[in-house]
């Protein structure tokens, strides 16, 4: 994926906790690939929910809450 066709929802650069730039191409591929996969699953859930008659705003709120509920198992 070139910079020109990078999705707008991805940041222009991934940062380390101290503000540095993550430059490893393989790390960037993994991170962006994971997020692309998650986006696809969320899109499917949104579409399924709407087709089943659920409120779009509620689905989006639940997806936001799901992200907010993630925990960092590596926190020191």
The β-bridge partners of 15 are 21
The mean pLDDT of 47-71, rounded to a whole number, is 98
The 10s digit of each residue's pLDDT in 4-52 is 677 888 888 999 999 999 999 999 999 999 999 999 999 999 999 999 9
Go through the chain and tell me how many residues it has. 76
- In the chain, where the domains are located: 3-68
Give CA separation, 21 vs 12, 37, 41, 52, 62, in Å. Answer: 10, 23, 28, 42, 31
Whole-model pTM: value is: 0.81
What is the predicted pLDDT for the residue at 23? 93
Give counts: helices (H), strands (E), the chain.
2, 0
């Amino acid at each position: 994926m070139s910079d020109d066709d990078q999705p707008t929802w991805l940041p222009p650069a991934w940062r380390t906790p101290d503000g540095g730039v993550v430059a490893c191409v393989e790390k960037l591929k993994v991170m962006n690939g994971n997020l692309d996969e998650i986006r696809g699953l969320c899109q499917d859930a949104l579409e399924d929910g709407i087709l089943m008659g659920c409120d779009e705003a509620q689905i989006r709120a639940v997806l936001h809450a799901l992200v907010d509920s993630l925990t960092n198992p590596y926190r020191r």
